[in-house]
Amino acid sequence: MLSHLYRLMRSFELSHGYRPNLLTLHPIHYFELRSSLPAYARHLELTRFLGMKVVLSSESIHPHVSWSAVAERDSA
């Protein structure tokens, strides 16, 4: 899961010239991600590690990265 997210982030950065700040995941993918990173047990720790806000959506079939001014403002 983590390597897939890295590839998504890197592809976004190469395409747009800046890093994504928003990650949209299905709750099942979020559970898998948290399971693979036990050192980041709390949601806030995980978002800091990833450098992105995490949005859970049951409609999101595949993980998706994007950039949002709202996420940027909230992290400041």
pLDDT value at position 30?
95
Per domain, the residue ranges of the chain are: 2-71
Q: What's the average model confidence in pLDDT over 36-54?
A: 92
Binned at pLDDT 50, 70 and 90, residue 75 comes out as low
pLDDT value at position 21?
96
pLDDT value at position 70?
82
Task: Provide DSSP, the chain.
Answer: -HHHHHHHHHHHHHHHSS---EEEE-HHHHHHHHHH-TT--SHHHHHHHHTSEEEE-TT-SS-EEE--HHHHHHH-
Q: Is the model's pLDDT at 76 over the cut of 60?
A: no
pLDDT value at position 2?
87
